[in-house]
Amino acid sequence: MSFGTDLNTVMQADASLSSYCNGGIYYENLPDNFDLTKNWMAYSFRKTEQQDCLAGIKNVYTTYSIITKVIATDTNTLETISDHLVDYLNNKEQGGIKDTWFLGDNHTIDLEKNIYINSLDFRSYYIV
């Protein structure tokens, strides 16, 4: 298993999140010319830190940053999806993922496309 596999399992497992994101939940990139009348989520991750221990054990755990972008057709839906995502991911465990927590978010609007975007940042501990 890997962090990416475990995270994908988490992101695809919640029926409510899938229902809210009626366009889909994607890793890294949304489809080309995605339908602006639907709600979407894209997520990515990166390693931020690795911890070893004094006993010579390498890679006791790795800290990952999880970045999600929620795209919605209105602000109420954006808030609903964002709040659900925070509640769902906080303290989430799956496979080697042993804890996940919310750090912050950033709201933007694309007036040309008439969509609302919220970028949410999370951290996660992963143990191999």
Q: Do 118 and 82 meet the contact criterion of CB atoms below 8 Å apart?
A: yes
* Longest pairwise C-alpha distance within the chain: 56
Res 128: pLDDT: 75
Q: Which residue has the tokens 């931020």?
A: 48
Domains of the chain: 3-126 (3.30.2000.10)
Give the span between the Cα atoms of 15 and 11, in whole angstroms.
10
- What does pTM read for this prediction? 0.90
Cα dihedral angle (112, 107, 94, 14), rounded to 10 degrees?
A: -60
| Phi, psi (rounded to 5 degrees) for 18 | -65, -35
Q: Where are the beta strands (DSSP E) in the chain?
A: 24-27, 40-51, 61-72, 97-110, 115-126
For the stretch 72-90, pLDDT in tens is: 999 999 999 999 999 999 9
Could you tell me where the DSSP H helices lie in 21-122?
A: 75-89
Label residue 50 by pLDDT band (50, 70, 90).
Answer: confident
